[in-house]
Structure 1
C-alpha cells in the first residue's frame, strides 16, 4: 500500500481526509453473540484524493458508499484493500474528492462478540456466573475492532451513537440517552445489515432503540458503549463552579449492588475537588461507572462511562480491609482524573501517553487522596506503590524514556508500564515540589483551558506551568522525560560542606562511560535540622556533573527532602549509620517519606553493588522501634526481595528468616490478629504486614494460628475467624502447609467468591502449594477455568512460590504457542512474560530463557522480555557478589 503512505511517519493514517462526526448505530444480540452496525462518517477533505484510508480490524464490511457534497454524487468504491499489518482498509473511488470539500462515508459492518477483552466483547458475571453482557475496551487501538474509524487520538470527532438491543437490557454510552423506545426500521438504512436483521425478526417488539446525545469532540479510544442486564446505585454532586447538579451512577450486575456504594461515594467526593483544583467544570451531563467481570486493564477512562474490574471497584461495607478501600479510592480517583487529562485534553500520539497516565497517577494516587483522606498518608503511599516500582524498572539498560516512539499497535500496548504511569507521575511530583503545588496546579489549569477538546504534546504542558511559575520548565524537565534512567547522587563530606556528583544509576552496577552521558537537572532539596529542631529545606539545582555545597555537616542533614526527587542518594557508611540513628530519634527533622527513602536507597545501592548489603541490613536494625506502616512495608519488601533472590540457597534463608522474625513477630504480638473499625489505618495495615512477614519467615506460632483459623472454616464453613484483611495470607498458608483438601477449598473460593476481594485472595493463594501435582492443577485452572483477566493473579502465586517458580517458567515455555495466540493483541501477553521469567535468579536461567526466545518474533512483548532478562541477570550478579557477605553478617547478627 505504498501509494497510500502519508508523507509523515507511515504508521500514521493519511490526513487527506479526516472525520468530523460519526453517526454510529450498533445492534447487539447477546443470544447469538453477534453485533451488526452501520456508520455514517462526515468527512472533511483536506487534499484532493480518490482514496479513503481508515482503520478496520476483524470486521466484515459491506455496502460502502461515499457521497461528495461538492460533486453532489454518491459512488461505491472501485476497489477495497485490507492491510492486516497496518490494520487498515483502503477504499479507492473512481471520482476524486475535491480539496476543501465535505463528504459522507457510509459503511455497514458486523462481527462476533468474543471474549477477547478488546473491541466490543462479552463478559459474564452475576451470582451464577452466567449473566452475559457486552462492553467496549478500545484503548489503545481497538475501536477499529468495533467499527471502521480513524483510530488515532489526534483525529477527534463528535459521535452520535444509537444502540438497538433487547427490551429487557440496559444500553449505556458516553452521553445520556436522548430517547429510548420500541425499535422502528425507519431509524436505520433499510439496505444495511441492521435493516436486514429487522426484516428477519419473528417478533420485532422484543427490541428497543436507544439514541444517545451527541458527544463533544473526542478520540475514538474513549468512545464506549455497553449492553446488558445492569442495575445501578445513584448519587450526584453539585459543581462548585456552576452550581449544576450532575447525576452519578455506578452500573453493576444485580449481585454486586451491595458492594457498589463506596466507589460511588468516592466519585461524589472527588468530582467537586477536581473541578476546583483545575478551575474547569466537568463538561458532560453525567458520569457513570461500570464494573466488568472480564476486563484486561484495571480501569478505563471512557469519557462519561468509566469501566473497571469488579476487583478494583467493589468494596464490602462490612469489611475492615483498608487495603481494598484504598485500592478502590485510588482507582476511582485515577480514572476520574482522566476526565480532564486524556478526555478534555488528549495527547497527540501515544509517545506522549504520560500526559494522560502520569497525571492521572499523580492525581489519583496522591493529590486527590491527600485532600479527602489525609489520614491515609498518600504521599508516603505513593512512594511504595508508584515511585519505587518506577525506579526499579528504570534502573535497567532495557528501560525506555517516558516519551518513546510507538510505530505500531504492538509497541503501543507495551508502553502501558511503570514508566508511562509511575515514573511520569513521580517526575511530575518532583516538579510540583520544586515549583510549589499551588503554582503547579495553576499551570495545569492553564494548560487544560488552553487545549480543551484538542491534542497536546509535552511543550504545551511545560508552557502552561511556566506561565504560572516563571521557571524555565523545559530546562528542568526535558532530560527526565526524553532520556531513560535517573542518577545516583554521591555525597562526600568535606570541610565546610558536601561535594555531590551525579552519575546514571544502573541495577547492574556503576555505569561505564557509554551509559553515563546524560546530565540531569536535579532538584537537590536538602533538609537540615535547625536550632529549634524544625526542618529547613534548602532548594538547590544541580545542573553539572559535580558541585560543592556549603553546609554545616555537624547538624542532621539529608539530600532529597521527602524523597521527592527521582534519584538515589549514596552516602558514606558512617553517615548512613548516623542518618539511621537520627531518623529514628524523637526529635528527628526527617519526615516519614524521608525515612522510607533512606531504607529503599540503601537496599537499591546494595543490590546494584554500589555499597555493601550489610550496611542496608544494619540500617534496618536501627528501625526496630519504628511505628509507621510505610517504613515497615519498605523494610518488608526489601527483605522479601532478598529471600526471593536467594530462594535456591537454603543456608541464606535459614539465617535470614530469624532476622525477619525478630523484626516482625513483636509487631504481631502487639497488634494481634483482629482489627477494629476504630483502629487507625496505620495499625490496620501494619497488622496485616506483620502477620504476612512473620508467616513467610516461618514463625510457628503465627503459622499455627493461621492454619487453625482456616481449619475452622474448612470444617464448619464459617469464615468469621478469617479477617478480611488477613484472607490473602491465611489462604496462602492453608495451601502452602496443607494438602489437596485445602487447595480444593481455596479453588472453590476462587471460582465462586462472596466478594471480588475474596476471589482475588484465593487466586493468589492457589500457587502456594508445595505439591507439583497440585501446581499442575493450578496451571491448568489458570489456562482453562479461570477468567482470562485473572490468569495473572494465579500466575503471581506460582511465581512467588520458590517451589513452583521454575515449574511456571517451564510450563509457560511448553504452552507458549497457545498462550501467544490466546492473548495476542492484549495487555496480558507482556504480563505473562514478566510473571513467568523475571524472578528467576541464575545465569543458567538467563541462558535458557534467552535461548527459548532466540528465534521467536518477540515484537508484541519485546520490552517485557528484555526487562525480564535484565532482571534475571541482575539477581544472578547480586547472588554472586553478596552471598558471602550476607551469610557473614547474618551469622554475626545474633551476637550483635
Structure 2
C-alpha cells in the first residue's frame, strides 16, 4: 500500500505569493529588454566573406595591368665596350650588364608582377616590402617571348594593396647590337694619336640609345608605357677614356672592379618622365659648350668639334630655347641640355629629355661644304626637338594613339622656333606639311589622327603611327585651328595646357578644354571630325549659283565615311581682294548667296591654304583663274598659286576634274619665278613622269618641261655660272629647281654647264657651290660613264662631313648603267659601305631613277626577310621605303606583286604602308587607262 502526500494550507499560500512575484519580475524584465532594444537596436553579425581573388593569369591584352605602379628606379648599367680595340686585347666586347631596383606602389592585393623586358637575360629577381625590407618569396619568373614582352614574376607571398610600397630588384645582361634600337653600338672612323704623335685612322666605337617607342625594355626590365612615369636614378660604369651621358648631370668617379680601373658616373635623379625619353651614351667624343650661363653642350666626333662643325648648333640652340620659354610661359626645367651627333642613328633626331640625339647631318654644319638647305635642316630639327621638351617630355600623351599631340605640335611649333634662329619658313608649311599629308590622307587606308587605344597595341601598330599623318596632318590641323580661333588664342590655351598638365599625361580633349577658355568658338565641335575621322573634304563651289557642298576626298573613288567636317572657308574674288569668311557645317549642297560674281569675275577659296581641304570649282571659274594666271599671276596670292596647281592635279587624279585644266595651270610658269608654284607643279608633274616615263608619252612631257623651265634657268644663269646664290632663301630653292629640271630634261646649256663644273671639281680647280652640288653631281653622273661613278664613290668614301656624304650618296643613284645600280644596291647590305641608317633612303634614291626602279623593287622583294629582320626594329622608314619603290606602279602585274609581298610580310612591320601603296596602285591603273591618250594629246598640242 502507498504512503500519504498531503501539505499544509500555509505552505500553499507561500508558494503562490512567490510564483506571482516571479512572474511579475519576468514581465518587468521583458518590458525593460524591449525598451532597450528600441533605443539601442543591435547590429547584425557580419556576413561571412570569401577570401579575395588574387589574379595570377597574364593580362588579356598587351597592356600592363594596374595592380602595381612604378614610382622610381635605381638603374646600374655597365657596357663593356672599348672605345677602340686596345693593343693588348684581340676582341671587342659587345655586352652590357646591370641591375635595377624599382619602387612599386601596390594598388591591390597581388601575387604577381608584370613588367616589360626584351632580349635580356634576367639572372636574378627579388621582391621586398619597402618599409620592413622583408623579402617576399618568389615562386618563379619568366619572359613571354611574344608581342607582349612581359616579364612575369609570380610570388608565393601576397603583396598587400592599399598603396603599400615594394622594391623589385632585377639583375640582367644584354648584347650591344648594331640594330639602331635600344642600347646599341655605333662604329665610325676616327683619329687617334699613336706613340709617334701621328694621326691615324682607326675604327672607333660608342654605345648609345634610341628607346622610342618601346625599346627601353631592351635595356632594363621596366614598365615601358608612356603613362607609367617615374623618377630614374641612373649610374653608368664605363671604360677609362670614355664619357657617359644621360638625361641629367653626372659626376664621374674612378673605381676598381676585379683589379681593373673603371669609371662610375652617377647622374642626378631625373624629373618624373616616361621610359621612352631615357637616353644613355658612352663614347670618347669631344664637346663644345656655351661660354657662360645655362649649360648647353654639343657632343660629336673630335674631328667635327675641332673643325667647328658644332658651332652653328650651339649658337642657335639657346636662342630657340629662350624663344620657347617665352612662347610657352614655362622655363625649361632641367639644369643642362646636351645634344649629340651620332654616326648611326635610325631617325633624324630623338627628343630625349636633356640629352637629344641626332644624325650627324641634322646637328653638324660645315660652312665650307654645306648648303643653306643643310643649315636650314639643322635649325628645323633643333627647333622640332626643343619643342618636344614641352610637348611630349613635360606633357606626354597617355598612350601612343595620341602621339600626334607630341609630333604634330613639335612640327607646327618648329616653324615658330626657327624664327629665333633667323629663318622665316612659315610659307613652306604648305609644301612640306599640308601637301605631304594630303597625299596619304586621300587614301581609304589612311588613319585618323587619334585612334582608339585598343587599335594601337603591338609594336608594328605603334611604329606605323610615326608617319605623315601624325607629323604633317597634325601640324596642318593645328595651323587651321589657329586661323579659326586666332593664333593668340591658341597660344594662350597652349600655355594653360602645359602649365596644368606638366609632368602628367593627357588625351587630346584636355587640350580642347584649355583652348576653349580662350575663344567663343566651339573648339571640340569644330575639331571633332578632323581628329577622329580619316581623310579630309573637297569643297565644291558653283560660282554661278553660290552652291557649296563638301564630301570626303578620295584618290580612289568611293563613298567615304559621310561625316561632315566644319570647314572654314576664306575666299576672295577678283573685285573683292579682302578675304571674307564662312563656315560650311553641313554635308551636301547648300545655297550660299552672299557672293555675286560678274561675267568675267573669278572666285578663289581657302586663301593661303589655311584650311586642310581641297577646293573644286565649276569649269567656268577654273578657266577664269587660268586666264588670270596667264595675264598677271601676281593677282593670285603666292601660296594659292601653289594650292591651285596641287588641288587641280589631285582632283584630276581622283576623276573630279578634266586633266587638261590641271595641265593648263602650269602654262603660266614660263613667266613665274616663285618657288611655291614651281615646286607644287614639279611635285605633281612628277606623277605624270612616274606614270609615263616608260611609254611614248614621256617624250612630249620632257620637251614641254624643257620649254617651260628655260626662262627660269636663264633667270638664274648668272648666279649659276658665277657660283653665287640669290639673296632670298626661297629664290635659292627656285635656282636649284631650275638647274635640276633643266638638266634632267635635256636642256643642252644646263648639261654643258654641269659637265664643266664637275670636270673642274674632278681636277681640283673649282669647288661647286654647295647649294647646287646635289643637282650638279647627279646630272654629271647621269650623263657620265663608270669612271665618273667611281670618282664619286671614292669621294663618298673619303668625305667626313655627313651632309656632303648625303649629296654624293644621292648622286650615285643617278647613273643609267644597270650594272652600276645593281652593284650599288648590293652595297646597301654592307654597313661598311652604306651605313644601316642610310640603307632605306639609298634604295629609295635608286628607285627614283627610271632605270633603277625595277632593280630596286626586285631587290626589296628578294631581301624583304633580311631587311625586316635586320633593320625593321630600328628603322621607322620601312613604310617610306615601300612607298618610294612603288610610286611608278600602274600595271596589273605590279599590283599582283605587291599583294604577294603583303602575304609574305609575316611581321607586319609595313602592313599599313602596303595597304596604302596597293590602293594607290589600283588608282594609278584606272587613271592611266582613262588619261594616257588625253595627256599625250595635250603635251603634243602645246609643243
TM class by shorter chain equals: over 0.9
Is residue 572 of structure 2 the alignment partner of residue 527 of structure 1? yes
Match of residue 213, structure 2, among 140, 148, 166: 140
Q: Which residue of 1 aligns with 2:376?
A: 326
Q: Tell me how far 1:325 sits from its aligned partner.
A: 1.5
Q: Which residue of 1 aligns with 2:740?
A: 692
Q: Which residue of 2 aligns with 1:114?
A: 177
Counterparts of 2:266 and 2:362, CA distance in 1: 30
Q: Tell me how far 1:661 sits from its aligned partner.
A: 1.2
Is residue 79 of structure 2 the alignment partner of residue 28 of structure 1? yes
Q: Which residue of 2 aligns with 1:386?
A: 433
Distance change >3 Å, CA 222–CA 4, structure 1 → 2: farther
Q: Which string of whole-angstrom CA distances, capped at 9 and with x for unpartnered residues, describes residues 430-478 of structure 1?
A: 1111111111111111111110000000111111111122321110111
| Counterparts of residues 393-792 of structure 1 (less than 5 Å) | 393-404=440-451, 405-495=455-545, 498-509=546-557, 511-512=558-559, 515-528=560-573, 535-549=578-592, 550-554=594-598, 555-582=601-628, 590-649=636-695, 651-672=696-717, 673=720, 674-676=722-724, 679-714=727-762, 716-717=763-764, 720-784=766-830, 785-792=833-840
Q: Which residue of 2 aligns with 1:832?
A: 881
Match of residue 286, structure 2, among 222, 231, 244: 231
Q: Which string of whole-angstrom CA distances, capped at 9 and with x for unpartnered residues, describes residues 329-380 of structure 1?
A: 111111100000000000000000000000001111x222356535x4x222
Higher Cα Rg: structure 1 or 2?
A: 2
* Greater alpha carbon shift after TM alignment, 25-34 vs 65-74: 65-74
Counterpart contact for 2:214–2:276, Cα < 8 Å? yes
Counterparts of 1:711 and 1:796, CA distance in 2: 27
Counterparts of 2:348 and 2:630, CA distance in 1: 37
Q: Which residue of 1 aligns with 2:942?
A: 893
Is residue 294 of structure 2 the alignment partner of residue 246 of structure 1? yes
Q: Which residue of 2 aligns with 1:180?
A: 252
* Greater alpha carbon shift after TM alignment, 212-221 vs 398-407: 398-407
CA RMSD, aligned part only?
2.0
Does the residue aligned with 2:287 lie in a helix, a strand or coil? strand
Q: Tell me how far 1:183 sits from its aligned partner.
A: 2.0
Unpaired segments of 5 or more residues in structure 2? 1-53, 83-92, 191-200
Q: Tell me how far 1:321 sits from its aligned partner.
A: 1.5
Distance change >3 Å, CA 30–CA 70, structure 1 → 2: closer
Q: Tell me how far 1:396 sits from its aligned partner.
A: 0.9
Counterparts of 2:933 and 2:597, CA distance in 1: 34
Q: Which residue of 2 aligns with 1:89?
A: 151
* Greater alpha carbon shift after TM alignment, 350-359 vs 164-173: 164-173
Distance change >3 Å, CA 313–CA 839, structure 1 → 2: farther
Does the residue aligned with 2:290 lie in a helix, a strand or coil? strand
Distance change >3 Å, CA 236–CA 791, structure 1 → 2: same
Q: Which residue of 1 aligns with 2:67?
A: 16
Counterpart contact for 1:528–1:589, Cα < 8 Å? no
Q: Which string of whole-angstrom CA distances, capped at 9 and with x for unpartnered residues, describes residues 191-242 of structure 1?
A: xxxxxxx23xx432xx2111111111000000111010111222279xxxxx
Q: Which string of whole-angstrom CA distances, capped at 9 and with x for unpartnered residues, describes residues 562-619 of structure 1?
A: 1011111011232123224445766956432222211111111112221122111111
Does the residue aligned with 1:162 lie in a helix, a strand or coil? strand
Counterparts of 1:851 and 1:443, CA distance in 2: 49
Counterpart contact for 2:441–2:469, Cα < 8 Å? yes
Counterpart contact for 2:140–2:154, Cα < 8 Å? yes
Is residue 196 of structure 2 the alignment partner of residue 124 of structure 1? no
Q: Which string of whole-angstrom CA distances, capped at 9 and with x for unpartnered residues, describes residues 689-714 of structure 1?
A: 11001112121221122122222333
Q: Tell me how far 1:855 sits from its aligned partner.
A: 4.9
Counterpart contact for 1:338–1:360, Cα < 8 Å? yes
Q: Which residue of 2 aligns with 1:240?
A: none
Q: Tell me how far 1:121 sits from its aligned partner.
A: 0.6
Counterpart contact for 1:341–1:356, Cα < 8 Å? yes
* Greater alpha carbon shift after TM alignment, 570-579 vs 209-218: 570-579
Counterparts of 2:483 and 2:651, CA distance in 1: 25
Does the residue aligned with 1:30 lie in a helix, a strand or coil? coil
Q: Which string of whole-angstrom CA distances, capped at 9 and with x for unpartnered residues, describes residues 594-653 of structure 1?
A: 22211111111112221122111111112332232122111122222211221211x211
Counterparts of 2:138 and 2:923, CA distance in 1: 57
Counterpart contact for 2:778–2:814, Cα < 8 Å? yes
Q: Which string of whole-angstrom CA distances, capped at 9 and with x for unpartnered residues, describes residues 115-158 of structure 1?
A: 11000011123444722111110000000001110000000000
Counterparts of 1:181 and 1:441, CA distance in 2: 45
Does the residue aligned with 1:130 lie in a helix, a strand or coil? strand
Counterpart contact for 1:56–1:145, Cα < 8 Å? yes
Match of residue 224, structure 2, among 134, 141, 151: 151
Is residue 124 of structure 2 the alignment partner of residue 63 of structure 1? yes
Counterparts of 1:113 and 1:152, CA distance in 2: 23
Q: Which residue of 1 aligns with 2:29?
A: none
Q: Tell me how far 1:30 sits from its aligned partner.
A: 1.7
Counterparts of 1:166 and 1:731, CA distance in 2: 43
Q: Which string of whole-angstrom CA distances, capped at 9 and with x for unpartnered residues, describes residues 386-420 of structure 1?
A: 11111100101111111123111121111110001
Counterparts of 2:572 and 2:232, CA distance in 1: 53
Does the residue aligned with 1:494 lie in a helix, a strand or coil? coil
Q: Tell me how far 1:46 sits from its aligned partner.
A: 0.8
Counterparts of 1:536 and 1:588, CA distance in 2: 16
| Counterparts of residues 841-860 of structure 1 (less than 5 Å) | 841-857=890-906, 859-860=908-909
* Greater alpha carbon shift after TM alignment, 447-456 vs 79-88: 79-88
Counterparts of 2:891 and 2:535, CA distance in 1: 25
Counterpart contact for 1:580–1:623, Cα < 8 Å? no
Match of residue 221, structure 1, among 276, 287, 290: 276
Counterpart contact for 2:320–2:420, Cα < 8 Å? no
Does the residue aligned with 1:783 lie in a helix, a strand or coil? coil
Match of residue 334, structure 2, among 284, 291, 306: 284
Counterparts of 1:129 and 1:434, CA distance in 2: 57
Does the residue aligned with 2:281 lie in a helix, a strand or coil? strand
Counterpart contact for 1:218–1:343, Cα < 8 Å? yes
Counterpart contact for 1:21–1:42, Cα < 8 Å? yes
Does the residue aligned with 1:250 lie in a helix, a strand or coil? strand
Q: Which string of whole-angstrom CA distances, capped at 9 and with x for unpartnered residues, describes residues 249-302 of structure 1?
A: 111111222221222222122111111111111111111111111111111010
Match of residue 864, structure 1, among 913, 920, 935: 913
Q: Which residue of 1 aligns with 2:4?
A: none
Distance change >3 Å, CA 129–CA 12, structure 1 → 2: farther
Counterpart contact for 1:77–1:94, Cα < 8 Å? yes
Counterparts of 2:704 and 2:408, CA distance in 1: 38
Does the residue aligned with 2:571 lie in a helix, a strand or coil? strand
